[in-house]
């Protein structure tokens, strides 16, 4: 077990240091915070430092805050001392209600009363876990990132039945100050917003493959070389608005609304099965054709960084919606 680190008097605490937690830690470090992290897994400290080191060149390319440094990362094997003086807590434990409840209860018991507790949960309803905080359930909320958090700007902020309006406001301000693009999801719903939108696309993608309408690689090409290029710039509503010319979205809905509804009614329903799972996996293997996943990930991140830089440059010249 790792030695207990001496915590900073003003730091962000990261609870759980898997890929998401490590990515969050790197993000906080890049914005000039001291970070204290904890994770009970064997070898967690070494893996965390290795991952942060791997992430750092991309963060340096995006731009670091003054005095930002991986050296400001500390690891503490004790959860209570990790959060005892934290100004913000980002929890990244396994996606299980029982584990989340245990972590929230322990964090709430040890963290300062004014410190927000955000969970990175991708689908658990916050009201299912926030009442585990016996002291201050009103400061517990979802701060769901999009993977990888050190690069992707989106953060979904969701309050539960007892989350205070002040906590939501503070979380939105905190993530905005990090350079993120937080959205406030006003009602709890499974999968939040972005994952539900992805799930809708995945359902139709799986259906098209299951029916032999298109192959795995053809579905990927249809998105990555088609609407995906536009979606990287503008969301579904603004893209629809642009497609309507001078009349905008009102024109589109008036003239293309009925055909669009007919497509909705024709959308397929699909259930995962052993046969379909094998078919999808085989299709991905065929598409990759031996491509090294590390190379593919590196290429993806390089393109993503280039896009983020272009968007940032445009915002610097004139604030925009892109």
What domains appear along the chain, each with residue ranges and CATH number?
11-185 (3.40.50.720), 198-290 (1.10.1040.10)
SS3 210: helix
What pLDDT is attached to residue 127?
96
130-161 exposure pattern, b = at least 16 Cβ within 10 A, e = fewer = bbbbeebbbbbbbbbbbebbbbbbebbbbbbe
**Environment class of 207 (CB within 10 Å of its CB; exposed 0-12, middle 13-18, buried 19+):** middle
What pLDDT is attached to residue 164?
98
What pLDDT is attached to residue 12?
98
What pLDDT is attached to residue 274?
97
What pLDDT is attached to residue 322?
77
What pLDDT is attached to residue 6?
40
SS3 158: strand
Cα atoms in the 13 Å half-sphere on the side-chain side of 160 = 25
Consecutive 10-residue averages of pLDDT for the chain (322 residues)? 42 97 98 97 98 96 95 98 98 97 98 98 95 98 96 97 98 97 96 96 98 98 96 94 95 93 95 97 95 92 92 79 78
What pLDDT is attached to residue 8?
42
What pLDDT is attached to residue 41?
97
| Nearest partner of 185 among 144, 128, 216, 225, judged by Cα | 144
What pLDDT is attached to residue 315?
79
């Amino acid at each position: 077990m790792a030695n207990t680190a001496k915590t900073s008097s003003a730091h962000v605490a990261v609870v759980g240091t898997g890929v998401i937690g490590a990515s969050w830690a790197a993000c906080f470090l890049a914005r000039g915070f001291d970070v204290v992290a904890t994770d009970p897994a064997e070898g967690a400290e070494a893996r965390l430092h290795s991952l942060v080191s791997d992430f750092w060149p991309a963060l340096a390319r995006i731009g670091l805050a003054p005095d930002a440094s991986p050296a400001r990362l500390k690891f503490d094997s004790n959860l209570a001392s990790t959060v005892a003086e934290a100004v913000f807590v980002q929890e990244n434990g396994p996606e299980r209600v029982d584990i989340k409840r245990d972590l929230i209860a322990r964090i709430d018991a040890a963290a300062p009363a004014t410190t927000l507790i955000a969970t990175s949960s991708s689908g658990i309803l916050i009201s299912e876990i926030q009442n585990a905080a016996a002291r201050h359930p009103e400061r517990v909320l979802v701060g769901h990132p999009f993977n990888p958090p050190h690069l992707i700007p989106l953060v979904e902020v969701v309050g539960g039945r007892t989350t205070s309006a002040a906590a939501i406001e503070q979380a939105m301000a905190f993530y905005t100050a990090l350079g993120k693009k937080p959205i406030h999801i006003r009602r709890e719903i499974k999968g939040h917003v972005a994952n539900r939108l992805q799930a809708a696309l995945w359902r139709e993608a799986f259906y098209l493959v299951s029916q032999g309408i298109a192959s795995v690689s053809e579905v990927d090409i249809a998105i990555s070389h088609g609407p995906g290029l536009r979606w990287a710039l503008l969301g579904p509503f603004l893209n629809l608005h642009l497609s309507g010319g001078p009349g905008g979205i009102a024109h589109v809905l008036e003239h293309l609304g009925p055909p669009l509804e007919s497509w909705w009614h024709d959308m397929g329903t699909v259930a995962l099965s052993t046969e379909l799972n094998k078919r999808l996996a085989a299709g991905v293997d065929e598409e990759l054709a031996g491509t090294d996943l590390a190379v593919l990930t590196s290429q993806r991140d390089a393109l993503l960084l280039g896009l983020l830089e272009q968007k940032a440059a445009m915002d610097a010249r004139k604030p925009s919606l892109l």
